[in-house]
Amino acid sequence: MAPVPSQPQPTRRWGLIVGMLLTLLAGAGALLFYTGVLEFTEALDPATVTSSNVRLLDNGVPVTATVTLATSGRTVVLDPVLALDPNTLYTVDVTTSVTDAGGQAAL
């Protein structure tokens, strides 16, 4: 039986970088401006990378952000429109509607 190819998985680097920024800047009481980056192992279908399918959340509530797919097709850029509040845990929600070029869910 042939092995089943694994689904592309995002790297954890983005979450770690955001966590460090929140820790470093929150102590100063500064508002946070940053651009987040999610990297995937395979090219994504550009039509599926939308602000409805990749969202920044504040306690489950969507935060307005611009979502773009880099020309590589593997990098999603998430850019909040407004400054983020210090001492706040933000999460990123990537739905199964985000697919690779072959139509398989990216997560």
Q: What is the pLDDT of residues 19-59, one digit of tens each?
A: 334 433 444 455 566 777 888 888 899 999 999 999 888 88
- For residue 27, the model assigns a pLDDT of 44
- For residue 31, the model assigns a pLDDT of 56
Answer yes or no: is pLDDT of 92 > 50.
yes
CA distances from 57 to 4, 41, 62, 80, 91 (A): 33, 24, 4, 10, 5
Please tell me which residue, 3 or 40, carries the higher pLDDT value. Answer: 40
- For residue 59, the model assigns a pLDDT of 84
Please tell me which residue, 100 or 34, carries the higher pLDDT value. Answer: 100
